[in-house]
Amino acid sequence: MMEEERPRPVAGFTPAMLERWDIDELRRYIATLQAEIARAEAAIARQEAHRGAADAFFRKPGG
C-alpha cells in the first residue's frame, strides 16, 4: 500500500518563541526536534540508496 501524499511544507523553519518555556518544556522540544532530524536523515539515506540502486541498474556495461 502506498503512503498517502502530503503537501510539502513551505521552505524554511520558523523557530518557536522559547522565552516563556520552562526547562522541562525546552528539553521536550529539543527531544522532538532531534527525533525529527533523525527521521529526515533516515529519509535522506533511503533516497540515496534508491538513487544508488537506480544508477547501478542503468549504468552502461563496462562504464
* DSSP, residue by residue, 22-51: -HHHHHHHHHHHHHHHHHHHHHHHHHHHHH
Q: What is the pLDDT of residue 27?
A: 98
**Bigger pLDDT: 58 or 40?**
40
What integer pLDDT is reported at residue 22 of this predicted model? 97
pLDDT in tens, 2-38: 667 777 766 788 899 999 999 999 999 999 999 999 9
Amino acid 56: pLDDT: 81
Q: Which three cell numbers stand for residue 61?
A: 556495461
**Helix, strand, coil percent values for the chain (each to nearest 5):** 55, 0, 45
Whole-structure pTM value = 0.65
